[in-house]
């Protein structure tokens, strides 16, 4: 329709939002700011206890009213199960020796004593915790639940009962096909450009294939991976996506709880500084290059273990690195679009700037009909 707003996609229509921009972040202030600005904020809550999630949900809801927002958790399909003792016994002595060597060579002190067990979300009780976390999401009738790992199709009936839309992040077409056939509300096609847990297929190859798979279904498709500008939003819409899912850029906002030195990492980084490593969780995580990621890439380094064994193996040393603020050993999760981030802004301004740039890009590309 002539004059129609090209940013008013099916996502905007279905969720009553102004812009087809979804922000994934671990800071509830960012989530509230993005939802108030006309996008959709989704809180990464895997590291939170169930009652902490409940508190965050209520805090966000007080600030956004009836605007949509979501909670993101991990439901890994590939996971070594067992009690803590059995799992500890599966960690090879060679891996333990390698980590001990890193601690000595890096002069990394022991972690500070804890008042209670750590809640990283990646550990032997991960599945039990996920079930308890999910209970809170549905009890609080959160508008959106997003599964960062693993198909959420088994939650569709429960979602219908509570009015919760079920979203799933995928990295492979076969994963998308299964979720679309099951009736998942939104599939996020996350290319290997993505920060955090990421796959092996680039965004520009993955998104069109997923869009084709979703054609004729009620499932909407979001493009993810390297999205940091309005031009990326325009490109995603050109590929047939109904909107974008992005995470890295929100870490460089005023509202984010990202450590100042990590924010500086984001501002300095180029695309090639965002490297994949399985050294933290056992699954590929794209992050800014650090001594930690490089240590596991050196000749003779052992192959990282599967989830949750790798997370258990490295939990103490990674906690020590954070406790003592050893900056060169920490790499903030970031996608390959990080090189486009050059300034810290308010989250609401990021939404508005992305939307304005996307509209400008689409306007420049629009071809007017030729008069006879």
Mean pLDDT of 30-49: 96
What's the pLDDT tens digit per position in 143-165?
999 999 889 999 999 999 999 99
Of the chain, the percentage scoring pLDDT greater than 70 comes to: 92
Q: Which class is 10-79+119-265+335-365 in CATH? A: alpha beta
**What are the extents of the domains in the chain?**
10-79+119-265+335-365
CB 35 within 8 A of CB 69: yes
C-alpha distance across the termini of the chain, in Å: 20
Q: 161-185 burial, b if ≥16 CB within 10 A, otherwise e?
A: eeebbbbbbbbbbebbbbbbeeebb
Those residues whose C-beta lies under 8 Å from the C-beta of residue 282, and which sit 6 or more positions away, are 122, 304, 305, 306, 307, 308, 309, 310, 311
Mean pLDDT of 298-308: 94
Those residues whose C-beta lies under 8 Å from the C-beta of residue 220, and which sit 6 or more positions away, are 10, 11, 14, 185, 186, 187, 214, 242, 243
Is the pLDDT at 77 greater than 70? The verdict is no
Distance between CA 311 and CA 92 in Å, rounded?
Answer: 14
H/E stretch holding 337: none
Going by their DSSP bridges, the two strands 285-288 and 69-74 should be labelled as unpaired
* Measured CA angle at 105 (ends 100, 110), to 5 deg: 55
Angle between helices 347-365 and 28-36 (to 10 degrees): 50
- Region for residue 153 given its phi and psi (left: phi exceeds 0; alpha: psi -120 to 50; beta: otherwise): alpha
Q: What is the pTM of this model?
A: 0.92
Average pLDDT over the chain, rounded to an integer:
92
Does 358 sit behind a cis peptide bond, omega within 30 degrees of 0 on the bond before it?
Answer: no
List beta partners, residue 145: 71, 166
Is the pLDDT at 204 greater than 60? The verdict is yes
């Amino acid at each position: 329709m002539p004059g129609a707003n090209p940013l008013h996609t099916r996502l905007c229509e279905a969720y009553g939002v102004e812009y087809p921009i979804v922000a994934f972040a671990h800071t509830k202030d960012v989530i509230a700011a993005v939802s108030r600005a006309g996008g959709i904020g989704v809180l990464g809550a895997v590291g939170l206890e169930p009652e902490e999630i409940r508190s965050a949900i209520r805090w966000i809801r007080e600030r956004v009213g009836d605007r949509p927002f979501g909670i993101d958790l991990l439901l890994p399909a590939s996971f070594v199960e067992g009690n803590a003792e059995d799992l500890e016994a599966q960690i090879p002595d060679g891996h333990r020796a390698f980590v001990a060597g890193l601690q000595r060579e890096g002069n990394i002190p022991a972690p500070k004593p804890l008042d209670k067990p750590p809640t990283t979300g990646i550990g032997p009780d991960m599945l039990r915790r996920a079930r308890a976390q999910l209970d809170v999401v549905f009890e609080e009738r959160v508008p959106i639940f997003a599964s960062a790992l693993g198909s959420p199709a088994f939650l569709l009936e429960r979602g219908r009962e509570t009015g919760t839309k079920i979203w799933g992040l995928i990295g492979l077409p076969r994963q998308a096909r299964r979720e679309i056939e099951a009736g998942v509300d939104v599939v996020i096609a996350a290319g290997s450009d993505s920060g955090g847990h990421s796959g092996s297929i680039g965004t520009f190859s993955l998104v069109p294939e997923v869009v084709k798979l979703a054609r004729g279904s009620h499932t909407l498709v979001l493009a993810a991976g390297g999205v940091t500008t309005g031009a990326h939003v325009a490109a995603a819409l050109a590929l047939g996506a109904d909107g974008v899912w992005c995470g890295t850029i929100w870490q460089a906002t005023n509202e984010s709880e990202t450590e100042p030195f990590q924010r500086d990492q984001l501002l300095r980084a180029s695309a090639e500084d965002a490297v994949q490593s399985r050294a933290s969780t056992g699954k590929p995580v794209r992050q800014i290059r650090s001594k930690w990621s490089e240590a596991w890439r050196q000749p003779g380094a052992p192959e990282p273990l599967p989830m949750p064994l790798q997370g258990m193996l490295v939990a103490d040393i990674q906690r020590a690195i954070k406790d003592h603020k050893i900056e060169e050993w920490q790499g903030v999760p970031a996608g390959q679009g990080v090189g486009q981030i050059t300034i810290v802004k308010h989250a609401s301004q990021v939404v508005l700037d992305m939307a304005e740039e996307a509209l400008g890009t689409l306007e420049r590309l629009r071809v007017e009909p030729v008069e006879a």
